[in-house]
Structure formats: structure tokens, C-alpha cells
């Protein structure tokens, strides 16, 4: 079974993230969504709530596991037996940032690849930052996050 790790803070999880997960399943048998623990980063939603949100999206899909981890992503990928790390790319800024991390990861463990998927045009403008602003100012979340999350994020 080929497992891929998709990581992020997912504060909150967006349709862009969901698209990358679903497209990842076209290439891999299993996607592990890893929420990295970063106590230095200020989040809108605490770790347990972000974990709950993503589990809610995939509660009926056994090909997807949602978990948290701390430490280096490349070490966690090795621990779970992932053959690759999956990353979404929206623009050239994302590419430069992700390329640096991918090369550092390859330096740490040459057996784990990083796979980049380009964002679909309809999701390329969506970021967790944009969604947080919409939540804060009670904007329309339709088309930004999975439908199942809209009522949960509006509470």
C-alpha cells in the first residue's frame, strides 16, 4: 500500500486542501493528513478543533487518516511508512517556499519524495488566511471550505 503524507496547519481546512487530498488518492492508496504541532504559531482554531473539522470531512473514507504530529515532517513521514510527502502549489511563491523544504527533506531522508500538485484554477485564490478573514467578518464561506464545515466554522 502506497501512503502519502499531506501536512499543514489547516487553520482552517479549505476546498483547496480537499482538492489536493482527493487528487492525491488518484496516485496513492492512502493519504495521511498530518496536523503539525507548532506552539509558536497563533491559530484561530485550537489543534483539537482543527483535527475534528478534518475528521468530519473524511469520516466515511477509510483511505484517509487524520492525525497530529510534532517534530520534523520528514521523520513523521518515515514513522508512518509514507513513500512521499504531498504538497499543493498555488503560485510561484508557494513553489519557491516548498522547493526549499523539499530539498531539505531529501537531504534528511533520500527515500521519501516530495510530490507537488498544482492547485486547480478555481481554488488557487483560496488560502486559510482568506478563509479566516471571511469567518472573522461573517463573509460567505460557500466555495471556500467543504460544505460540512460551513455551519461548524460559523459558530
Angstrom distance (rounded) from CA 90 to CA 142: 20
- 41 flagged as catalytic: yes
- 124 flagged as catalytic: no
SS3 (DSSP) at 4:
strand
Please tell me which residue in 17, 30, 50, 87 is annotated as part of the active site: 17
Please tell me which residue in 41, 42, 136, 138 is annotated as part of the active site: 41
Please tell me which residue in 18, 90, 99, 106 is annotated as part of the active site: 90
Angstrom distance (rounded) from CA 47 to CA 72: 17
Angstrom distance (rounded) from CA 62 to CA 145: 21
Question: At 119, phi and psi to the nearest 5?
Answer: -60, 140
- 90 flagged as catalytic: yes
- 9 flagged as catalytic: no
Which residues are designated catalytic? 17, 41, 90, 128
Amino acid at each position: 500500500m502506497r501512503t502519502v503524507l499531506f501536512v499543514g496547519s489547516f487553520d482552517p481546512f479549505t476546498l483547496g486542501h480537499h482538492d489536493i487530498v482527493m487528487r492525491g488518492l488518484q496516485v496513492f492508496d492512502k493519504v495521511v493528513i498530518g496536523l503539525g504541532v507548532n506552539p509558536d504559531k497563533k491559530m484561530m482554531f485550537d489543534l483539537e478543533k482543527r483535527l475534528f473539522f478534518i475528521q468530519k470531512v473524511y469520516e466515511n473514507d477509510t483511505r484517509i487518516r487524520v492525525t497530529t504530529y510534532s517534530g520534523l515532517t520528514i521523520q513523521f513521514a518515515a514513522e508512518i511508512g509514507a513513500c512521499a510527502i504531498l504538497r499543493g502549489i498555488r503560485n510561484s511563491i508557494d513553489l519557491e517556499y516548498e522547493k526549499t523544504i523539499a530539498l531539505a527533506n531529501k537531504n534528511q531522508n533520500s527515500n521519501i519524495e516530495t510530490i507537488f500538485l498544482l492547485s486547480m484554477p478555481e481554488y488557487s485564490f483560496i488560502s486559510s488566511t482568506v478563509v479566516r478573514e471571511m469567518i472573522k467578518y461573517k463573509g460567505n464561506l460557500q466555495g471556500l471550505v467543504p460544505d460540512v464545515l460551513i455551519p461548524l466554522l460559523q459558530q
